[in-house]
Chain A
Amino acid sequence: QVQLQQSGPGLVKPSQTLSLTCAISGDSVSSKSAAWNWIRQSPSRGLEWLGRTYYRSKWYNDYAVSVKSRITINPDTSKNQFSLQLNSVTPEDTAVYYCARDNPAFTSSSRFDYWGQGTLVTVSS
């Protein structure tokens, strides 16, 4: 059974960096069929896909245009986890952040089949 366990602070000051980690059990961050995603949810923006990392003989990343200049998603194979960093946050980045597995990614059956528990991140001084 795949499980995704999120960790990270729930309060970030404006202009600082939001950092979250998603620990994977029951699968590998280096899976050649999965992609590992970050998605956020807020009342104003709904469910918003932010980006993903995946391994296909080498590591790839894709990011949403809306955050592309501020976001980094990194895999950590030694700990079987992946992370989200979002720089220069503003109150508009306040949301519940989720990690999620897409498997099998890049196929007609692509879907987010496992999700982390969610982390409410509030951007406030």
Chain B
Amino acid sequence: DIQMTQSPSSLSASVGDRVTITCRASQSISTYLNWYQQKPGKAPNLLIYAASSLQSGVPSRFSGSGSGTDFTLTISSLQPEDFAVYYCQQSYSTPQTFGQGTRLAIK
């Protein structure tokens, strides 16, 4: 199975900050990488697919980049509703696997 490792596991930031979350795959996955946001008691919500494509309806302050084994999710200017847990997920091979999550908290 492909292992997905996110860093950091948690971070604190303020409204208006620029934030970057990193995801590393245990082998090359080209751009078969998705990002999700999860709020308490809710299902994960797709933000970015294919490493850098913005899902319909997702604000443009979210962006993704990377290929191969290293990927980033960037939030350009944090809004109050962005404080949540973020997950990466690879769709390169079965089983599709997720990172352990990054908890973004208010500073």
Instruction: Judge: A and B partners, yes or no.
Output: yes
| Cα A55 to Cα B53 with chains together (Å) | 26
In the complex, B69 has a CB within 8 A of chain A? no
Contacts of A26 in B (CB 8 A): none
Contacts of B87 in A (CB 8 A): 47
Is A46 touching B101 in the complex (CB atoms < 8 A)?
A: yes
Please report whether the interface of chain A is mostly helix, strand, loop or mixed according to DSSP: strand
| Cα A110 to Cα B95 with chains together (Å) | 13
Is B95 touching A49 in the complex (CB atoms < 8 A)?
A: yes
| Cα A102 to Cα B55 with chains together (Å) | 13
| Residue among B30, B50, B97, B100 making CB contact with A49, cutoff 8 Å | B97
**What 1/0 flags go to A106-117 for Cβ under 8 Å of B?**
001111110111
| Cα A102 to Cα B46 with chains together (Å) | 11
A contacts with B, residue count (CB < 8 A): 20
Contacts of B101 in A (CB 8 A): 46-47
In the complex, B72 has a CB within 8 A of chain A? no
In the complex, A11 has a CB within 8 A of chain B? no
In the complex, B32 has a CB within 8 A of chain A? yes
Other 9 A-B pairs with CB < 8 A, given A47-B101, A49-B97: A47-B87, A48-B98, A62-B94, A98-B43, A108-B32, A108-B50, A112-B44, A115-B45, A118-B43
Chain B residues proximal to chain A, CB less than 8 Å: 30-32, 34, 36, 42-46, 49-50, 53, 55, 87, 89, 91, 94-98, 100-101
